[in-house]
Amino acid sequence: MADELNISFYGYLFGLENLWFTETLRNIWIISGFMILVAVLVRINMSKWNPDKPTGVQNAVETVIEIFHNYVKSLMGDKYAFFGNWFFTVFFLILFSNLAGFVFLRNPTADITFTFAFSLSTFAIIHFSGMIIGGASYWKGFISPHPVMLPLNLIGDIAPAISLAFRLFGNVVGGFIIVTLLYNMAPVVIRLFIPVVIHGYFDLFSGALQAFIFLTLSMVFIRSKLPD
């Protein structure tokens, strides 16, 4: 059944026994290519920009960047606003991955390897930035309020990485399976109208919300390990 409907954890395309070229990889390349194309086009357009009189593309780009920057500053504070540079890219990659269902690509976020890649990079940022910027206060955090709490603190540090990955994966793969079941099983008449609602909820609303929540929770976790 899984082969017939193409609902599987890995959209297997071709490859060796343990080295697969999956649909996830192909779709990430398509999405990254799209994002690079947009970035290059904006950069070419930027040479014509006028700081005093913004028009067209400049307005849109500046608005997006300003909203994002203000949001990062409200969560991390002025001092650590530089983390926004990394999260801008991550946010838009996850957002476009969640929206990929609109153009009938398999969502890359419906693959647990993709979500774990990002949650583990968040995990690495949490701890390396804590070590480098926090120093002694980072190490003291493990034995606060009392050294007996050390095992609990260690579990509490590992849990965010797992819950971030599973939250994104579970939400997107649930929507993906429902959409795929609908396209494969529903009568043709229903297929004409219902998918609009389903795509609107699972891809647009849920996808954008999950990308936003991944961003927010990552920044909250990072901020909690940093000193004031």
Partner 1 sequence: MGYEIVLAASAIGAGLAVLAGMFTAVGQGFAAGKAVEGIARQPEARGSLMSTMLIGCAVAETSGIYGLVIALILLFANPFI
Stretch that binds partner 1, among 5-13, 19-27, 46-54, 123-131 (CB under 8 A): 5-13
Q: b or e along 197-228 (b: 16 or more beta carbons within 10 Å of the residue's beta carbon)?
A: eebeebbeebbeebbeebbebbbebbbebbee
d(CA 130, CA 139): 9
User: Residue from 31, 72, 94, 173 that binds partner 1 (CB under 8 A)?
Assistant: 173
Distances (CA, A) of 86 to 3, 60, 69, 122, 167: 37, 20, 12, 10, 21
- Interaction between residue 170 and partner 1 (CB under 8 A): yes
Minimum CB–partner distance for residue 197 and partner 1 (Å): 20
User: Residue from 7, 61, 120, 204 that binds partner 1 (CB under 8 A)?
Assistant: 7
d(CA 164, CA 149): 23
- Interaction between residue 12 and partner 1 (CB under 8 A): no
Q: Can you name the residues that pair with 12 across neighbouring β-strands?
A: 22
d(CA 36, CA 53): 26
Stretch that binds partner 1, among 1-9, 16-24, 35-43, 99-107 (CB under 8 A): 1-9
- Interaction between residue 209 and partner 1 (CB under 8 A): yes
User: Residue from 171, 218, 225, 226 that binds partner 1 (CB under 8 A)?
Assistant: 171
- Interaction between residue 182 and partner 1 (CB under 8 A): no
Minimum CB–partner distance for residue 137 and partner 1 (Å): 25
User: Residue from 61, 90, 120, 213 that binds partner 1 (CB under 8 A)?
Assistant: 213
At 20, give phi and psi (nearest 5°).
-100, 150
- Interaction between residue 177 and partner 1 (CB under 8 A): yes
